[in-house]
Amino acid sequence: MTGWQEEKPNALLILQNGTRIEGRGLGATGHAVGEVCFNTAMTGYQEVLTDLSYAGQIITFTFPHIGNVGTNDEDIETLENASASGAKGCVLKADITNPSNYRSTSHLDAWLKARGIIGIAGVDTRALTAFIRENGLTNGVIAHAPDGVFDEAAISAELAKFKGLENADLAADVSTAKTYEWSQGRWVWNEGFSAIDSPKNHIVAIDYGAKANILRCLASENVAVTVVSASTPAKDILALNPDGIFLSNGPGDPAATGEYAVGIIKELIASDKPIFGICLGHQLLALALGGKTVKMHQGHHGANHPVKDLTTDKVEITSMNHGFAVDADSLPTGITQTHISLFDQSNCGLTVDGKPIFSVQYHPEASPGPHDSHYLFKRFLDNVRGVTADA
């Protein structure tokens, strides 16, 4: 925007330490309080912004040119039956350019406005990212007012009252309110989403904030998927007679969600059904098995995280989005660590010895991100079908 320096800023980002950042507003107006994190992915901003694992967060994009391919209706990860949306806000370096992609149906600015997401552009995102790396995840408030007039005392007071994501059960806020069936498979170029007509098996997916592409990856393994809420009792899940059980990703503190989820998962473990967990589902499984979770300094948010699969010695480049992690030292006897982050050696996977139960911290469905880890869905269905997994 030529000459913006002479114009009155109409957006603010205020951090909990009092740091005040001015910029150009975009998307929705108003203000929102959340945890400020950064994401290093170079593509897939629409999928990132609609990932329910980002509920309660304001995303700083390290890639400077966000919005250049526009938006469309196919790259949305929030499920239609979800009780809430994803990120509260986004922080950008450059202004949003006109979209340049044949799939685009809407400008990112209009799309953000329609989804109620507040944005701020013109921010030194490298400096903000460096601040988070040095000081850890921080709370903040993002505000956009077309006239540039803000009641800073009021929004700062609201920020001061925000307790952050520790001890916050956000899965209950975003999970589906009803049970429903899912049969849509992965997207195919120039064809759209595939349909699963004759499934061989039945999987129940517990929705803690599930991404659509996870369900598509499950369905593409030729299975019927039934999605249930995060608080569905184990007896009701088992009454659906599933061949396997999936524990989804989601936002918030796993220990808080575990107050009701752990008991359910323990009963499911006792049923000897094959179980597969991703992200929050991985953390909740660890808690149910007797492990502990910890808050991370800056979290893992991006599509370029190297992870080593200790069962195959292969290294995968993965997509991640989490601010809590499983404490590997807390895992009891009989639980084996299967994956580690090559950035910080934090736990990224586990399996229950002698049982068809495993989970990973990262996102094998990608969207956005590389497809290195798609094999995990096959590994899960191999467990369901009683065959040896071929990684």
- Catalytic residue IDs: 279, 363, 365
For residue 150, how many C-alpha atoms fall within 13 Å in the half-sphere facing its CB? Answer: 27
Q: What residues does 143 pair with on adjacent strands?
A: 12, 31
Q: How far apart are CA 71 and CA 74, in angstroms?
A: 9
Quote the DSSP letter at residue 221: T
CA distances from 268 to 77, 215, 241 (A): 27, 20, 12
CB-side exposure of 368: number of CA atoms within 13 Å? Answer: 17
Structure token pair of residue 314: 């292969």
Nearest to 147 by CA among 8, 346, 299, 321: 8
Residue 158, classified by CB atoms within 10 Å of its CB into exposed (0-12), middle (13-18) or buried (19+), is: middle
H-state helical runs in the chain: 45-49, 108-115, 125-135, 152-161, 171-174, 212-219, 234-239, 254-270, 280-288, 375-385
Token couple for 331? 């895992």
Which CA distances in Å does 127 have to 21, 40, 64, 300, 356?
Answer: 11, 14, 12, 18, 45
Q: Which residues of 292-301 are buried (b: 16+ CB within 10 A; e: fewer)?
A: ebebeebbbb
CB burial of residue 245 (10 Å; 0-12, 13-18, 19+): buried
Query: In whole angstroms, how far apart are CA 106 and each of 71, 98, 187, 307?
Result: 5, 10, 20, 35
- Euclidean distance between CA atoms 23 and 9, whole angstroms: 5
